[in-house]
Amino acid sequence: MGVPERQQIQPKRKAKPRWLLHLFPLPALILYTLFVIYPILSAFTYSMYEWKGIARGAFVGLQNFLTLFQVEPFNKLFWNAFGHNVIYFLVEMVVQNGIAFVLAFLIYRKIRGAGFLKAAYFMPRLLSVIVVGFLWKLILNPNYGALNTLLGKLGLEEWAKPWLGDPDTALLAIILVNCWFGIGFAVLIFLAGLQSIPEELIEAARLDGAKGLTMLSRIILPLVMPSLTIMTIFTFIQAFEAFELVYAMQGSMGEPFHSTDTLAVYFYRLAFSGSGGAGDVSIGLGSALAVVLFFIVASVSALSLKAMRKREVQH
Amino acid sequence: MRRSGSHVFVSAMLTVLLVLAGCSGGTNPASPGDGQNGGQTGSPGGSAGGGSSGGGAEQVTLSMHSWRVEDAEGYKKIIQAFEAENPGIKIDFKPFKATEYNTILNTALQSDSGPDVLQLRPYAPGISLAEAGHLEPLDQLPGIQNFSKDVLAAATGKDGKVYGVPLSLNSTQIYYNKRLFEQNGLKEPKSWDELIAVAKTLKDKGIVPFAFGAKEGWLLSLSHGVIAPGAYNGNAFVSKILNGEADFTSPEFVKSIQRAQELIPYFPENFVGLDLNDTRTMFFTEKAAMFINGSFELEGLQKMNPDLPLDFFPMPTDDGKAVLTTWVDGSYAVNAKSKHKQEALKFLEFMASKKFGELFANQFKRISAIPGVVTSDPLVNKMAELSASSSTPYLMVVHFAEGNPTTKQTLENSLQGMYLNKLTPEQVSQEVQKSAAIWFPRFKK
């Protein structure tokens, strides 16, 4: 600090010790360990203790995990929520990523207004999830919401439903809102992938007579595989950690009748309890669930990354 | 990103962290033993910490925690009244978000940095703090003898000692719109059949009988709590179930759930998708004639529509009476490790006085837990009178808010299932019984 400027500018050719280099990631590393690694490790330890409220009791080994998978209603709720996460993932893959790919392809082919569209698709992403949830709650309101009003105006009254109150539609409604929210991001990723395909490759393929679907499936798809891989894994992680939108739209009980419960919401309920802070909290069970969730996400992500990398083509 | 270089570092950091985690675990199980430092209450010399050189008496500032952020302004006035009488004591009222209050309070109490005076959740969650040794018993507090035993039960430990001065009562009832009733020649129903007849008349006239939504579970147990005592005749059944002579599969209780189902035709369209906001709006915009909800909605309803001709009726029972479902909504307690216990107790003595009760009830339009308090609002007075003369406990909050998930949450979820045609009333009662049987001592076999 107190060093005069001139001295600093003087070129010093003396070799600096190499270990100093390792200090540069330190600030980021400290934050990362403090807010990511430490909580994960503490969740591991918490999951093996008995808890009375927030006071830690005796070491119980794997008891919490056994409870989670063997005792009613915990096991039922777990598989119920797990199933919803799977649906979440599948629908997002098909709807969000499917539409996003088509949109990205159209923008890539330089349709008119591509720049504007790119920004427009990304717009929802700029809103806070809570705002998105609130907005769609209003739109989907059964009695004065825009959607049912519109259906009424179109003469489709019988299609109108209490979208978020009916267990048959509630989960799908939330997932579709999430697709609306996430589509812009997927478009950007796909577009980046498409644009990184060297022009010469496309030219060469065209000269060889590839066009239309052949071009798409044989040339373009393999070349954008890295973005598809990344997006699939993002979608998987996001689907298995789905919390905010469910919480914003349906509360911490995964209402109605647990039809929108996801593992993360279930975790929240277990560890911090449901409505108004009343009721028992079970940090042990909550942590056990968090650990299970961590393993599901980490292992599946790693495996699928490995599997999908193989199918990628280098250019 | 090149990772190879930092591997050593990562592993070093991880080691450090493991050690840290171990340490923090070690210091955690803090000393439940030193809660009994009974003798330290004599004047706390320099610990008052105030630089404010008062005239003679030493200034003491008591910290006070609550979960009623929305009440901060009102409390200011009440606290001023106390400070005027007790010049040596200042109160620092600090409210926290209701949903985070429990966590904040628990952490503070465990790390010995808790407030002197604290608002205590009613029944099991609050009592658990007393059982952990965090609270000062208040049996000797002047004024505590004025409360009825039912009311004190909200803050009475298993050892029989009282740990909190009850603040207010909540009641749940059926609010109704007087104008809509009069226009259709209707009167307050005196039996279940009359209630159904009233609902039918309203429906025939194109008015939504009940502003009711099934989207939020807690409102389902709340409205069941209003309807049910009519079916099982209030306290007689409550004492039976508490003694283990009856359970949730008893015909009286099943009937109470059937009645909750019987009302479905009189709910608004798409009621399974409506939440509290929707139904409240429906009621104060006079689109619906009745609204099953708590005393805590009163102030809001009157504010949203000051012209609303509002009244309520208690639930008629099958044996010809009428009952109001009530429970205690929080008490105030003293931290057993407070440095200013004398002053804190003095403040609680004030909170147990009729003067406080009147200030409180008028300020917040709530039912004071102190008997005989009269306010300027006739509806609050009516609630207070009924809760003194013919009340029945909100069973799920008062006695069955335990377990994980709680029996109350189980009821809520199952009722939601019933309203979605996924469960029958019998199945609902079985689910509730199953949940209670796990922890309720009388049901354990």
Which pLDDT tens digit goes with each residue over B419-444?
999 999 999 999 999 999 988 988 87
- Verify whether the Cβ–Cβ distance B417 to A257 is below 8 Å: yes
Distance (Å) from the alpha carbon of A96 to chain B's nearest alpha carbon = 26
- Verify whether the Cβ–Cβ distance A251 to B216 is below 8 Å: yes
Read off the pLDDT of residues B97-126 as tens digits, 9 standing for 90 and up.
Answer: 877 788 788 888 888 889 999 999 888 888
Q: Give the count of Cβ contacts less than 8 A between chain A and B.
A: 140
Nearest to B404 among A45, A56, A280 (CB): A280
Q: Does B235 touch chain A (CB under 8 A)?
A: no
How many DSSP H helices and E strands does chain B contain? 18, 13
Mutation target among A42, A50, A143 for the B interface, most CBs of B within 10 A:
A143
Which of B18-22, B26-30, B256-260 has the largest mean confidence?
Answer: B256-260
Nearest to B14 among A37, A42, A56 (CB): A37
Calculate the average pLDDT of chain B. 85
| Shortest CA distance from A269: residue in chain B | B405
Distance (Å) from the alpha carbon of B406 to chain A's nearest alpha carbon = 6
Q: Indicate whether this complex's ipTM tops 0.85.
A: no
* Pure H helices in A47-155: 63-70, 74-91, 98-108, 114-122, 129-139, 146-153
Pairing of strands B208-210, B315-316: unpaired
- The per-residue pLDDT for B403 is 79
- The per-residue pLDDT for B28 is 36
Strand partners, B65: B94, B118
Chain B residues with CB under 8 Å of A166 CB are 272-273, 420
Read off the pLDDT of residues A231-261 as tens digits, 9 standing for 90 and up.
Answer: 999 999 999 999 999 999 988 888 888 899 9
Chain A residues with CB under 8 Å of B278 CB are 141, 143
Distance (Å) from the alpha carbon of B355 to chain A's nearest alpha carbon = 30
Check: pTM over 0.80? Answer yes or no. Answer: no
- Per-residue pLDDT averaged across A99-103, rounded? 93
Q: Does B268 touch chain A (CB under 8 A)?
A: yes
Mutation target among B3, B413, B421, B430 for the A interface, most CBs of A within 10 A:
B413
A156: its two tokens: 């489709």
Instruction: Report which of B349, B346, B374 is spatially closest to residue B360, judged by C-alpha positions.
Output: B374
CA distances from B318 to A117, B233, B235, B240, B266 (A): 66, 6, 13, 17, 21
Q: Which residue has the higher pLDDT, A224 or A12?
A: A224
Distance (Å) from the alpha carbon of A131 to chain B's nearest alpha carbon = 17
Type of residue at A230: I
Instruction: Report which of A144, A17, A33, A292 is spatially closest to residue B268, judged by C-alpha positions.
Output: A144
Distance (Å) from the alpha carbon of A26 to chain B's nearest alpha carbon = 9
